[in-house]
């Protein structure tokens, strides 16, 4: 390994504004909604035995749980609609194209991620391009899955909700259960999809911390601040569209620049 303290050279890391405010707002609203929806969902699915001598008329806890579920469901849906809009007007990291898995570059990057981050192997040659600025392509695919599952939740959720509502919005989804062979199947799908979301979430959270720990580029804080830390030369080389940040044009390449070292 060409690595020792003698090999040291100065890095020029730059703050890159990656996650715009709407993305961050979406992310945390979404995060909260999922926590609330899953918690209430579990309770709806299997309510605990509450022993109480009170009159039914003076109790409403299950109604409140369900109300919370539905209220959170609306917020969740609104946030997703907003995020959908941002797929088309957001920056290059938030755009729909950043989630498209079928480009040559994306596939190359995916191979890299699987090799280095999933299988934990090292590469002989480092490509600067493998260092993603927004999300990497495997993550992109996972987010795509998230969005598909969110749609499943919205379709099945509002489909189940429609008969209890007079409003046109939920009623737009009344066709869903009849397509899925009834409310029963719809509920099972709704329930099962929750598990998928939770499982992918666990992996996602772990990987966010993994990258933070391994690469130290401010992964976690990026979802709060919007900024990540990126090698200046990586930015200079690969930024495809103007990014709201200090210009990278005048960054000089350090003499000791070693393109094989990503860190």
Partner 1 sequence: MAVTENSQKQETYYESIINQGYSRRDFMKFATFMAAYMGLETSSIAQVVKAMESTPRIPVIWEHFQECTCCSESFIRSDHPIVADVILDRVSLDYTLTLMAASGHQAEAAKHATMEKYKGEYILCVEGSIPMAEEGYCCIAGRSSLDILKEAAAGAKAIIAWGSCASNGCVQAAAPNPTKATPIHKIIKDKPIIRVPGCPPIGEVMAGVIMHVVAFGRLPELDRLGRPKAFYGKRVHDSCYRRPYYDAGLFAESFDDANAKEGYCLYKVGCRGPMTYNSCGSMRWNNGVSFPIQSGHGCIGCSEEEFWDNGPFYERLPNMTGFGIESTADQVGKVAAGVVGAGLVIHAIGANVMKRKELRDRINKGIKTEEQIQA
**End-to-end Cα distance, the chain:** 14
Give the integer Cα–Cα distance in Å for 14 and 8: 19
The item of partner 1, ligand HEM, none sharing an interface with residue 69, based on CB under 5 to 8 Å by kind, is ligand HEM
**Nearest residue to 16 via CA among 114, 132, 95:** 132
Which residue is closest to ligand HEM by CB?
Answer: 157
Selected from 20, 129, 183, 246, the binder of partner 1 by CB under 8 A is: 183
Q: Does 241 bind partner 1 (CB under 8 A)?
A: no
The item of partner 1, ligand HEM, none sharing an interface with residue 37, based on CB under 5 to 8 Å by kind, is ligand HEM
Q: Does residue 74 contact residue 170 with C-beta atoms inside 8 Å?
A: no
**Nearest residue to 116 via CA among 127, 101, 100, 104:** 127
Selected from 216, 220, 256, 259, the binder of partner 1 by CB under 8 A is: 216
Nearer to partner 1, 23 or 160 (CB): 160
Nearer to ligand HEM, 107 or 198 (CB): 198
Q: Does residue 94 contact residue 20 with C-beta atoms inside 8 Å?
A: yes
Count of Cβ atoms closer than 10 Å to residue 230 Cβ: 23
Q: Does 191 bind partner 1 (CB under 8 A)?
A: yes
The secondary structure of 129-183 as a DSSP string is GGS-SS--HHHHHHHHHHHHHHHHHHHHHHHHHGGG--SHHHHTTTHHHHHHTSH
| Span 162-181, contacts to partner 1 by CB under 8 A | 163-164, 174-175, 178, 181
Nearest approach in angstroms of CB 108 to partner 1 is 21
Selected from 28, 85, 100, 210, the binder of partner 1 by CB under 8 A is: 210
Nearest approach in angstroms of CB 186 to partner 1 is 8
Give the integer Cα–Cα distance in Å for 259 and 64: 58
| Span 57-116, contacts to partner 1 by CB under 8 A | 57, 59-63, 65-66
Look at residue 117 and give its three-state secondary structure. Answer: helix
Contact residues toward partner 1 (CB under 8 A) are 1, 3, 5, 8, 10-11, 45-47, 49-50, 52, 56-57, 59-63, 65-66, 118, 120-122, 163-164, 174-175, 178, 181-188, 191-192, 194-195, 198-199, 202-203, 206, 210, 214-216, 263
């Amino acid at each position: 390994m060409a690595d020792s303290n003698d090999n040291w050279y100065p890095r020029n890391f730059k703050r890159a504004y990656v996650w715009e405010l709407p993305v961050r707002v979406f992310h945390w609203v979404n995060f909260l909604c999922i926590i609330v929806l899953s918690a209430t969902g579990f309770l709806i699915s299997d309510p605990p035995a509450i022993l109480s001598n009170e009159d039914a008329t003076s109790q409403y806890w299950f109604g409140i749980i369900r109300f919370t579920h539905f209220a959170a469901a609306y917020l969740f849906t609104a946030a997703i609609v907003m995020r959908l809009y941002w797929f088309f007007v957001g920056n290059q990291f938030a755009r729909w194209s950043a989630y498209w898995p079928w480009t040559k570059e994306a596939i190359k990057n995916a191979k890299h991620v699987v090799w280095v981050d999933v299988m934990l192997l090292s590469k002989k040659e480092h490509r600067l391009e493998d260092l993603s600025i927004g999300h990497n392509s495997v993550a992109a695919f996972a987010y795509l899955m998230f969005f598909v599952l969110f749609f499943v939740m919205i379709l099945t959720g509002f489909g189940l909700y429609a008969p209890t509502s007079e409003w046109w919005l939920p009623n737009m989804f009344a066709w869903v259960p009849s397509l899925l062979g009834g409310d029963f199947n719809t509920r099972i799908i709704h329930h099962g999809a929750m598990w998928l979301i939770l499982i992918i979430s666990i992996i996602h959270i772990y990987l966010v911390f993994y990258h933070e720990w391994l690469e130290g580029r401010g992964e976690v804080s990026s979802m709060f601040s919007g900024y990540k830390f990126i090698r200046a030369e990586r930015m200079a080389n690969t930024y495809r569209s103007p990014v709201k940040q200090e210009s990278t044009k005048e960054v000089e390449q350090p003499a000791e620049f070693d393109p094989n070292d990503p860190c």
